[in-house]
Chains A and B, each alone.
Chain A
């Protein structure tokens, strides 16, 4: 009986000390982590809508955000869209920039992903995947080219799939297409 009480006491003590330590550590690191995240979003906005000086958030949901981007004279350049969708293994967080008439995509960035390293994770590779996303025609939907085409053969609404990571490539395309549809609705409705 005595040993049983002691056993419960020790394990409880270990758990309490550990959670205390972790709670302290979480509180201590939280502001830094938040700051990193915010800085990352700000940087990504400037990246996907070139020339942005200030931005204003016009749609703020947990998994979907639209930032209106202005140049230094306050003229609207376009919109930066933050969106989250399902990838091969976990959620993929994407930011892309479109012009103010919503017919051209400037650029796309992958902010967070947990795809297979060495394969699906190549969706973050600037020379391999992201380069196809520059200046795309978005009056319709983006289409995934599989098998990959030569760069000159790609139409202005097509992007190449990554060989060995079709599912991750397809996920990015479908996340973007869903987000595009919403952006068009949101912006049309003011």
Chain B
């Protein structure tokens, strides 16, 4: 594999082959909690792109100075710093969005995709490759969230992005926007993606 190809791989592996939600099964809490409406899923994804990429840059830059025993603690401090900055920034300049997101933004700190990528990738690789990895992973996260949220919002509320897509004949499946709907959707989507991946491998 030549140099360019491996850079490309750093990015695209997160989209499908090592998708953090569908394959690694990381970051389940936000996946289950915020996917009851597409708007929430988009906002969550944007915030995760910002936090994951900035943390990856900083942690990759300081990786050689962090002793192994305190690395997790240091990563969490760095991640929490970015999350808090994003939260305050939204509250100051985009009060409407900040209000809509409510408690989801502070909860990014405990999203294990971020800590997982820091530990598995950014702490061992160059800044440039860490950025590619972070972008790939956060886009993979966004894809999975959008899929989940689309299913749940359309079936549970008859809307997509707050736009009516199903007619008034549609009886909302309330359960889809409740927690059980999240588990049902996640199970179905993960199962289907596993099916596709095994089929793809054989072919």
Q: Which segment, of B6-14, B18-26, B78-86, faces chain A?
A: B78-86
CB pair A10–B65 under 8 Å, yes or no, is yes
CA distance A11 to B69 in the complex (A): 10
B64 to chain A, nearest CB (A): 11
Q: Is the interface of B mostly helix, strand, loop or mixed?
A: helix
On chain A, the residues within 8 Å of B197 by CB distance are none
Is the CB of B37 closer than 8 A to any CB of chain A? yes
CA distance A32 to B62 in the complex (A): 33
Is the CB of A41 closer than 8 A to any CB of chain B? no
CA distance A21 to B85 in the complex (A): 9
Is the CB of B167 closer than 8 A to any CB of chain A? no
Q: Is the interface of A mostly helix, strand, loop or mixed?
A: helix
Is the CB of A190 closer than 8 A to any CB of chain B? no
* CB < 8 Å neighbour of A18 from B37, B81, B156: B81
CA distance A97 to B71 in the complex (A): 54
Is the CB of B91 closer than 8 A to any CB of chain A? yes
CA distance A21 to B84 in the complex (A): 10
Q: How many residues of A contact B (CB 8 A)?
A: 27
Chain A residue at minimum C-beta to C-beta distance from B177 = A118
Chain A residues within CB distance 8 Å of chain B: 3, 6-7, 10-11, 14-15, 18, 21-22, 25-26, 29, 32-33, 36, 40, 90, 112-114, 117-119, 121, 163-164
Is the CB of B31 closer than 8 A to any CB of chain A? no
On chain A, the residues within 8 Å of B40 by CB distance are 117
Q: How many residues of B contact A (CB 8 A)?
A: 32
CA distance A113 to B93 in the complex (A): 19
Chain B residue at minimum C-beta to C-beta distance from A34 = B92
Known: A10-B65, A10-B66, A11-B73. A26 touches B88 (CB 8 A): yes
B 89-116 contacts with A by CB, 8 A: 89, 91-93, 95, 99, 102-103
B37 to chain A, nearest CB (A): 6
B68 to chain A, nearest CB (A): 9
Chain A residue at minimum C-beta to C-beta distance from B65 = A10
On chain B, the residues within 8 Å of A3 by CB distance are 67
Known: A21-B81, A22-B81. A118 touches B70 (CB 8 A): no
